[in-house]
Amino acid sequence: MKKTNLKILFTLLFALILLIPVSGQLTPGEIDKLVEDAMEKFTVAGVAVGVVKDGEIIHAKGYGLKSIDTGEKVNEHTSFAIASNSKAFTSAALAILVEEGKLSWQDRVIDHIPEFKMYNDYVSQNFNIQDLLTHRSGLGLGAGDLQFWPSGSDFTMADLLTNFQHFEPVSAFRTKYDYDNVLYVIAGEVIKRVSGESWESFVKQRILNPLEMDNSCTLPVSMSELTNLSTPHLAVDGTLKTIAWHEHDPEKMNGAMGAVLSNVDDLCRWMLVHLNEGKYGTNLEHQLFSAASQREMWKIHTTIPVRPNSRYNPHFSGYGLGWRLGDMNGKMSVSHTGDLSGMLSKTIMIPDLNLGVVVLTNSYYGGAEVFRAVSQTIVDGYLGLDDYGWTDRYLASFQVNSGSAKAKVEHVWKTVEAANDDHIKPDDYTGIYEDKWFGRIRIYLQDDQLWFSSLRSPALTGPLYFYRANAFIIKWENRELDADAFAIFSLDEEGKAQRISMKGVSPDIDFSYDFQDLDLERVDE
């Protein structure tokens, strides 16, 4: 055979090889089957999936229903609350201001917000902008979240700026990772004071509009112009029901911790701008933020212990600026999740593969398992790994964990049913109790039943049932909260209640119900 013919043959063979999918990579049809299987095994109303690869959107599709009440279907433009995936928008907004010379990452917070006050003077004086974003404050997991979770409280930015002084740190400043939300709200206030625009306005004008994320906005839903909007759902014992949106009032505080509403089509653009080091546009002719800012956001600022995992063989784990960072089979991973009142989301990018995957769901519980199973299966394909059966593995784990939590809660209520409360004198417990940061609560008698009511967070109200010793259980009147709590009273020598400490009943309670941080002291009878 002549050399010319051999050259042509090798060229054709090479072209054919390029057309063959890399082993394990999912086709659009296989992604459809993956999502449909996960939705069938978990009780989920709607899902949306977006995938970008090598600078292109290769998959953006919706599945299931926006609402079980209307029967409208999810598509690639259906917007969901992305919750804590919003934190990356806050970090990007700050990066833009840094590049404009309006602040430095190392600026002290008090240089921009003089009234900002932490739990001791040293921390207050040295807390910088990056400390707001990196979960290394020394405070415990979810500290202060009760100020806005559940929604409907009357806490304002002024409260948030000074309430940190009343918390007890659980670790030394800048030594340990403990996820928080409230400090991102402070970061949003920095944006306002430096730029003169609210966090909501800045994100819209400087990020969403330039990227043509036209079906994205920020909470509250009542102020949104979106017409293609998903509805949050709650699954209880395998049955779905729609629930209310998380209320957010930007007049009281900004939404920098988790108030972005978006969809997979728009979020694919968001992933592409990160994978392109801040560049966007048809020919990447525009720059949202610089490559240097990208590296700063994707640099580990707070280390997180690595969990052994033979499948991915990880070597490092940490948190950057609005992103969780790690490695999978030698490839860097950049990810985050979000959870807000029936809306769950996950974003994961593998920069070395120029790959990004986003999964949005509108159902709790089961939604988190769906976004994990779907995103990990898609990423595994590009890593060249075999099918690990993630959906079935997460299903088995979900059944065990939820069953265990349910059994513990049922045991607690059986104890309540069997308890003899004849010795309880309601007058020994009634009165006003106050926590330094959460404010006052009232214990009162209604139709011979003790009740708990928060004066600043009206959703936290419900009857108390005797458990044992000096402990009661508060059964919240709003059953969508799924956060019943123990109220443990401390009595004086006369048997009169003087203090209340609290903690969640279920081991699966959302960490944002930080009842354990309350120290309620009697102030009035």
Domain limits, the chain: 24-50+57-402, 426-524
Across 77-96, average pLDDT: 97
According to the model, what pLDDT value does residue 34 have? 96
Q: What is the mean pLDDT of the chain?
A: 92
Lowest mean pLDDT among 47-56, 106-115, 211-220: 211-220
Question: Per-residue pLDDT tens for 273-324?
Answer: 999 999 999 999 999 999 999 999 999 999 999 988 889 999 999 999 999 9
Structure confidence at residue 440 as a pLDDT band (50, 70, 90): very high
Average pLDDT over residues 30-57: 95
Is residue 515 a contact partner of residue 503, using CB atoms and an 8 Å limit?
yes
> How large is the average pLDDT for residues 37-66?
96
Cβ–Cβ under 8 Å, residues 297 and 322? yes
Whether omega before 150 lies within 30 degrees of 0, making that bond cis, reads yes
- Amino acid 406 reads K
Q: Report, as an integer, the average pLDDT of 409-438.
A: 93
pLDDT of residue 239: 87
pLDDT category, 96, cuts 50, 70, 90? very high
Residue 202 backbone class (left: φ over 0; alpha: ψ -120 to 50; beta: rest): alpha
Share of the chain above pLDDT 70, in %: 95
Q: For residues 480 and 244, give the distance between their C-alpha atoms in angstroms, rounded to a whole number.
A: 9
17 pLDDT tier (thresholds 50, 70, 90): very low
Q: Count CA atoms closer than 13 A to 149's CA, side-chain side.
A: 24
* 3-state class (DSSP) for residue 169: coil
CB 410 within 8 A of CB 473: no
Q: Are 119 and 142 in contact (CB under 8 A)?
A: no
What pLDDT, on a 0 to 100 scale, did the predictor assign at position 294? 95
- Count CA within 13 A, CB hemisphere, residue 326: 16
CATH of 24-50+57-402, one of 3.20.20.80, 3.40.710.10, 3.30.2270.10, 3.40.50.720: 3.40.710.10
State the pLDDT at residue 24: 63
The token duo for 225 is 């112009």
Tell me whether the omega of the peptide bond preceding residue 426 falls within 30 degrees of 0, making it cis.
Answer: no
Which CATH number does 426-524 carry?
2.40.128.50
Q: What pLDDT sits at residue 3?
A: 47
Instruction: Tell me whether residue 497 is exposed, middle or buried, using C-beta atoms within 10 angstroms of its C-beta: 0 to 12, 13 to 18, 19 or more.
Output: buried
Q: Is the pLDDT of residue 9 over 60?
A: no
Q: What is the pLDDT of residue 20?
A: 40
Local confidence band at 10 (pLDDT 50, 70, 90 cut-offs): very low
Mean pLDDT across 142-169:
93
Instruction: Check pLDDT > 80 for residue 7.
Output: no
Instruction: Please identify which residue in the block is written with the tokens 């950057």.
Output: 320
pLDDT of residue 525: 57
pLDDT tens digits, one per residue of 340-391: 988 999 999 999 999 999 999 999 877 789 999 999 999 999 999 999 999 9
Angle between helices 87-99 and 182-195 (to 10 degrees): 30
Q: What is the DSSP letter of 288?
A: S
pLDDT digits 0-9 by tens, 98-124: 999 999 999 999 999 999 999 999 999
Q: Is 90 exceeded by the pLDDT of residue 14? A: no
Out of 32-46, 64-78, 209-223, 347-361, least confident range? 209-223
